Structure 1
Amino acid sequence: MAREEGLVVMTGKPWSRGAALRDPNEAHRAATPLELFFDLCFVVAVAQLTARLEHAYATGHLADGIQGFLMVMFAVWWAWMNFTWFATAHDSDDVPYRLLTLLQMAGVLILASGVDAAFDGDSYRVVVAGYVVMRVALIAQWLRVARHQPTIRTRARRYAAGVGAVQVAWLILVIPDNITLFKALFLPLILCEIAVPIWAERAGAGELWHAEHIAERYGLFALIILGESVLAATVAVKDATDGGVTGSIVTVAAGGLVVAFSCWWLYFDTLGGDGPETQVRAFSWGYGHYVVFAALAAVGGGLATAAAAVAGHGDHPIPERTAALAVTVPLALFLTAVALIALRPGDPCGPDRLRKWLAAAAALVLAGVFLPPAGATAFAGGVAALLVTVETVAAHRRYRAATGTG
């Protein structure tokens, strides 16, 4: 904007600048309002997934529920991740870029509307349709890069061709609308999706991402999922207290809050400012977050399940072991994934952190097997809070040793 005689006026700009090639060392790079808006659309999909996972626990459809959750969560995460890495290198913020981003946002909403049918085993057509819409928009973005950035044209064309080929395969697979066939071929097509960036980056374009920007974007998505987890648990606790407040419900509510807050603390102190430095680490860092995000979303479903179990609500009583493990297993997976992603060569703290967090993860799984839902949730909160305390004290000691303070 510019000021003219006391008035604020918008400065002009061309509607199309062409695809950009951003500086990976750009100072003060931060998430844009469009990126934040894009993330908000994923709130709907994550909320649907969390609710359907809780429903699967409540109705006893564990295997189908967990499988459906992991499958749809991959589609949500993969589409989000691909946009995030594209934007860190090629965000031109012109009109075509914004409209193609809008198309991806529409795809998210289409996908979210098909979650119920997918979980019920009726059809994956709507989920695939939404996913393909998002991917087609990304293909158009890559074709713009190929046109306007000749120095990385081969890389961009590989992305466009690879993503396009896999989308054709998804569409062919979903035409018969055979759930058994779809589930059987899901993993091979996922491996093809994962292989596309590996193949495209072999074009030798170099490291184009902005490490701090990537770390911020992943952190913001983690916050969105944590928020959905807290919301799911809050709604469940509210429903549970309709029949009166009990000690078990209070324990689940308090333990769940401690778990969510500890997850936030551990994630951002461990990975919050730690973007990937090398090409190899970019893949392990980026891909490993699937487990982190899926586990965080599942924690929310688990807390809601535990609240429903201790209240005794629903047409089908929830087995205590199922409700307890629904909290402790996702938390154990979250701790394991974060510790592994944070492990890097030359980090003296990494191996010790990994040992402590793996021990905590094992204890959580055992607690889920032997404790009732309220006790398991309280134990999970205690373990998570203990890890926060241990890591905070260790960080303080390292600071004192480095600065020579008493």
Structure 2
Amino acid sequence: MTPFEIFFDLVFVFALTRIMALIGQQATPTTMVQGLILLVLLWFAWSSYTWLGNHTRAEAGVVRGGFLVAMAALFVAALAMPQAWTSGPGLDGPLLVALAYVVLRVVHLALYHWSAGDVPGLRARIRFFAAISAAGWVPLLLGALLSGAAHTVLWVAAFVIEIGGQRLSYARRGAWPLRSAGHFTERHGLVLIIALGESLVAAGVGAASAVTAPPVLGVALVGFAVTACLWWLYFDRAGPAAARVLAPAAGDRRDRIAADAYSQTHLLLITGVIYLALGIEQVLALVAGVHGGDGHARLTWSASVALYGGAGLYLGGRLLFLRLTGQPVGSSRPAVAALAVLLLPVGVLLPPAAALGLLGLLLLAAVGVERLPGRRWSPPATGPRSSTDTG
């Protein structure tokens, strides 16, 4: 991974913060759904460039110029995301986001097609996928010109076409060829680290100037412990073991693991982290009495969904990641993920600090389960490492 790719990821991070700004501290079901749609849009843009950077050097020649254009488009989309569902002063926010996304995808497909000449059949595969993607841009642009439910429905349809088209392309022509497993796993691990960092930033935003008050500081430390548990559950064993599975894999199996376990499943992990960060932010805002609160209010249903639902989505995504990379799942891991979701009603009944503390205990239990004797797993020997891996 190069500094230029890290620069691209930093623009992606900025877009994540803008999605969180759209949802806001007083999250509602509407803003949470709107944020989710934009997060899917953002993820597929980032993921497509990760595959491109795995295929060819991102910091060299024509590709670097294209990446810079894409970064500019991503930056514009990020700036406009808080206005992605409403028209305000200046340029139309929804149309600006839609056009920036189309530019991102066009540049990606053009660069991938230009650099794919050394792989037989890859250019035909890219043209097939480009035709499907272009069909998805139609409802995206039409939705930007409308408002209300029509806007939302058309944008959802656009992303369904993109996702469905990708799966259809995989089924008919195979997954994208992966050249460097090391590069691919490193990029996904880095972006997950960045998302986890956002949960720490959210704690500071929620606490505001009241962070030095002992109760607020204590709750902030609980939020830190929650984030540390999420890190542990992926980076201590699951992530490294998956990398050891992907590196020696070859052919279609290698490409499928990369597409399913990383390009698809990591969206669940990132989404879970972002919504959990929003939940932590709202807990701290209530404890600190920010925005006129009295410090004794309860979480709203939306905040509880963000807190416990985000954790449940992360744990569920991790289970899928384990399964797709051939790691054992067992019975206790699904139970912990299900319990996180079942605690949703409890989140609105308990004081916010207690709700966060309960989640912290659940995640500590999940970490404890991973540390039990016999839980460490090593992938079976699968033969020599793939000759196409340059990572």
Query: Which amino acid in structure 2 is aligned with residue 260 of structure 1?
Result: T
Instruction: Tell me which residue corresponds to 2:260.
Output: 284
Q: Is the 8 A contact 2:206 2:284 kept in 1?
A: yes
1:228 is aligned to 2:198: yes
- What letter corresponds to residue 199 of structure 2 in structure 1? S
- Report the alpha carbon displacement of residue 296 of structure 1 after superposing the two structures with TM: 0.5
Following superposition, the deviation at residue 239 of structure 1 comes to 2.9
1:398–1:96 CA distance, 2 compared to 1 (3 A):
closer
Does residue 336 of the first structure (1) align with residue 305 of the second (2)? Answer: no
CA distance in 1, matches of 2:294, 2:86: 20
Correspondence for 1:320: 298
> Does the Cα contact within 8 Å between 2:178 and 2:258 map onto a contact in 1?
no
Amino acid corresponding to residue 237 of structure 1 in structure 2: A
1:376 Cα offset (Å): 0.9
Q: Which residue of 1 aligns with 2:381?
A: none
Q: Which residue of 2 aligns with 1:377?
A: 356
Q: Check the 8 A contact 1:111/1:130 in 2, yes or no.
A: yes
- What is the aligned counterpart of 2:65 among 93, 99, 103? 99
In the alignment, what sits opposite 1:21? none
Which residue matches 1:352?
331
Please say if residues 257 and 325 of structure 2, whose CA atoms lie closer than 8 Å, have aligned partners that are also in contact.
no
Change (3 A) 1:194 1:165: same
Question: Could you tell me how far apart the structure 2 residues matched to 1:256 and 1:205 are?
Answer: 39
Aligned to 1:304: 281
Deviation of 1:98 (Å): 0.4
- Whether the 8 Å CA contact 2:266–2:317 is kept in 1: the answer is yes
- TM-superposition CA deviations, 1:73-128 (whole Å, max 9, x none): 11111100111122222336421100111111111111111122125576422221
Equivalent of residue 199 in structure 1, options 162, 165, 168? 168
Match of 1:365 in 2: 344
Amino acid at match of 2:194: I
Q: 1:228, CA displacement in angstroms? A: 1.5
1:189 aligns with: 158
Tell me the equivalent position of 2:101. 131
Aligned equivalents of 2:169 and 2:123: distance in 1? Answer: 11
Contact 1:343-1:351 at 8 Å conserved across structures: no
Displacement of 1:43 in angstroms is 1.5
Residues 251-266 of structure 1: pairs in structure 2 closer than 5 A: 251-266=218-233
Greater gyration radius: 1
Select which of 55, 61, 75 maps to 2:25.
55
In structure 2, the CA distance between the partners of 1:371 and 1:104, relative to structure 1 (3 Å rule), is: same
Question: How far does residue 39 in structure 1 lie from its aligned partner after superposition?
Answer: 0.3
TM-score (norm 1): 0.80
Give 1:36's aligned residue: 6
How far apart, CA to CA, are the structure 2 residues paired with 1:255 and 1:177? 43
Separation in 1 of the partners of 2:67 and 2:368? 41
TM-score normalised per structure 2? 0.82
Q: Give 2:308's aligned amino acid.
A: T
Aligned counterpart in structure 1 of residue 213 of structure 2, from 239, 245, 263: 245
Per the alignment, do residues 181 and 305 of structure 1 end up closer, same or farther by CA in structure 2, a change over 3 Å counting?
same
Which moved further from structure 2: 257-266 or 124-133? Answer: 124-133
Whichever residue aligns with residue 184 of structure 1, its letter is: V
SS in 2 for 1:91: coil
Assess if the C-alpha contact under 8 Å between 1:139 and 1:164 holds in 2. Answer: no
Shift of 1:65: 1.1
Q: Which moved more, 1:378-387 or 1:85-94?
A: 85-94
Q: Is the 8 A contact 1:237 1:308 kept in 2?
A: yes
- Does the CA-based 8 Å contact 1:128-1:170 persist in structure 2? yes
- Alignment CA distance shift 1:259-1:47 (3 Å): same
8 Å CA contact 1:339–1:357 kept in 2: the answer is no
Q: CA deviation at 1:155?
A: 1.3
| Regions of 4+ moved over 6 Å | 396-399
Return the alpha-carbon distance in structure 1 between the equivalents of residues 25 and 189 of structure 2. 28
- Please say which of residues 39-48 and 179-188 is displaced more in the overlay: 179-188
Q: 2:131 aligns with which of 157, 161, 182?
A: 161
* Cα distance change of structure 1 residues 305 and 272 upon mapping to structure 2, 3 Å threshold: same
Aligned to 2:15: 45
Do 2:129 and 2:165's aligned partners in 1 also have CA atoms closer than 8 Å? Answer: yes
**CA contact 2:308–2:359 (8 Å) conserved in 1:** yes
Instruction: Name the Cα RMSD after superposition.
Output: 2.7
5+ unaligned residues in a row in structure 2: which ranges?
A: 379-391
Distance 1:352 1:91, change over 3 A: farther
* Worse overlay, 270-279 or 92-101: 270-279
Q: Any idea what SS the aligned residue of 1:321 has?
A: coil
- Residues matched between the structures, number: 360
CA drift of 1:148 comes to 5.7
The equivalent of 2:385 in structure 1 is: none
Q: Percent identity?
A: 28
Rounded Cα–Cα distance in structure 2 between residues aligned with 1:204 and 1:291: 23
Where do residues 61-80 of structure 1 align in structure 2 (5 Å cutoff)? 62-80=28-46
Q: Distance in 2 between matches of 1:105 and 1:92?
A: 12
1:4 alignment partner in structure 2: none
> Aligned letter for 1:320?
R
TM-fit CA distance, 1:270: 4.5
